[in-house]
Amino acid sequence: MSREIYQEPLVGRYTSKEMQYLFSDKLKFSTWRKCWIALAEAQYELGLDHLINSEMIDEMKANQDNIDFDLASAKEKEIRHDVMAHVFEFGTKAPKAAGIIHLGATSQFVVCNTDLILQKKGLQLLRKSLLHVIQNLTNFALKHKDLVTLGFTHYQPAQPTTVGKRNTLYIQDLLIDLDYLDKCLEQILARGAKGTVGTQATFLELFKGDDEKVRKLDVLVSKKLGFDKVFAVTGQTYTRKHDCKLVETIAGIATTAHKFAVDLRLLSNLKMQEEPFAKNQTGSSAMAYKRNPMRSERMTGLCRKLMGLPTNFMSTYANQWFERSLDDSAIRRMDIPQAFLLCDAILKLFINITSDMVVYPKQIEKQLLAELPFMATEKILMAAVEKGESRQEIHEVIKEHSIAAGMNVKEKGGNNDLLERLAQDPLVPFSLKELEGLISDFDAFSGRASKQTQEFIDEIVSPILEKNRNCLGEIDSSLDV
């Protein structure tokens, strides 16, 4: 790797080899050749055997991966056309077929169909990683379904929930992402063989006006490329509206990951829960004690980048004039691979973080005890009424002492002494021990959180994971840096 030119961090630092290969020149251009082979085969099978023979097709197949990239690059510099440069280069490897490669096709025959093939494979890779995150969070939620913790609304202490229940919220959002991803996979169709502006005029000429054969060619080429369905109509390209929906789906995963990562960073500050921390990891160059949530921070940054990409695709689609405008080419070369690589990096981090998160029950309990007296006031109020006290009078007493206890915490840095204040008030019919007893059962404050967690996983999550059991397999979530 040269140290004298810019290196893309997504490739050099963050992404998997599988996703890197998916957008490599090797796979891209060998897939172009796959498209040309499929076209020639279909044309031959549908009656153009006076132009194309089996020897030509066999020669093309034998050289699908035999690419002279230097020759293609030199030819592109000469003629300023990448597709025709590779038509030329392929012809040097398959000289018998040189005259029929790309017969009747436009450049977007190979470009669009290849893009769609790679998108399909890319979504399948992301899907596998997404399922791993769901599996990790499911295990974590089950492990901690009974661990009562403070809930937060507006990042202010609220009614308790459980650590497990909180994580079901992330799982639910990831299942929504999975559903959208699956729908997107279903909607990836082949561009097929549509001709220069989508009218199939050249193919109609090749087949001497035989409409039926031209229609069959479109379908047959698509099947040979691995598609069950084909776009019914196109311009020169498949509609870039598809790209908008594709990247919205991918960016949707980033929004879920971003929310999770920010929540974990907040929990890390509270010392309640942390991401894994390697044995020899350095948290800060200056402050040796620090355990910075660097993986979650990195994930947040990568998510922010991905969440910004859909606007590019919307602008590109909106500016496609009539049958096609070339201003989509340069930006798509960057943005489509980048969207997949970003999501791959995010999910790799997500898997790594969720595989070994650390929870601190004692710190969670400390936070609960500091806030629970405030949350128990309604319970104290009801218990006092049961002893014959006036609800309105006790309410005023509790309100007065709650405000005073809050000021003691905020202004003086003291402890939450609400229970002590209430115990000393003659209008409150409870001793300090009795009041402490009213808040001692944390579970009573978390409602059905534990049961909801178990029910959600049993009824919703587990069937999906079981259905996709064969998709999970092994996955490398280790981080180089």
Active centre residues (catalytic): 154, 284
- Angle between helical axes of 54-62 and 25-45 (0-180°, round to 10): 170
From 293, 272, 300, select the one nearest 151 (Cα to Cα): 272
Q: How far apart are CA 257 and CA 253, in angstroms?
A: 6
Q: How far apart are CA 460 and CA 175, in angstroms?
A: 9
Q: How far apart are CA 188 and CA 243, in angstroms?
A: 10
Q: How far apart are CA 408 and CA 402, in angstroms?
A: 10
Q: How far apart are CA 42 and CA 214, in angstroms?
A: 10
Torsions phi, psi for 159 (to 5 deg): -55, 145
Q: How far apart are CA 205 and CA 182, in angstroms?
A: 39
Helix (H) or strand (E) holding 160, with range, is strand 156-162
CA distance to 44, 100, 189, 192, 253, per residue, from 215 (Å): 15, 20, 16, 10, 38
From 24, 27, 31, 33, select the one nearest 91 (Cα to Cα): 33
Report the C-alpha dihedral over residues 260, 265, 271, 275, rounded to 10 degrees: 70
